[in-house]
Amino acid sequence: MAKFLTLYRFQRPVKGGGPDRFKTFRSLVEKEGGHILAFHGLVGPYDVMVLADYPNTRAAAKGAAAVGNLITAESTTMPALEQDEFLQLLKELNEA
């Protein structure tokens, strides 16, 4: 499984959100083989941040798009590296 960070920006006022909507949100991620690791509401240019494990990039893209449709939001999804993996990558760059 690989981690992906998705940032969502609402495209219209949110109506009917809350715990029931989040259950549907979670089920759309799980339908693509994903698992939500973190969910945060944001203040700023984005409204929601989700960190999720997915089996591959296609599943992450499909899950993010399905959730975006549910909550009427534009999404930006990117792979996320664990701290140790990222620091090792930086170390290797300095050794080259």
Domain range for 64 is 2-95
Query: What is the Cα–Cα distance from 7 to 70, expressed in whole angstroms?
Result: 14
Q: What is the pLDDT of residue 67?
A: 96
Q: What is the pLDDT of residue 4?
A: 98
Query: How many structural domains is the chain composed of?
Result: 1
Q: What is the pLDDT of residue 18?
A: 83
Q: Do 9 and 46 contact (CB within 8 A), yes or no?
A: yes
**What is the CATH classification number for the domain harbouring 91?**
3.30.70.260
What's the pTM value of the predicted model, to 2 decimals?
Answer: 0.89
Residue 59 has pLDDT above 90, yes or no: yes
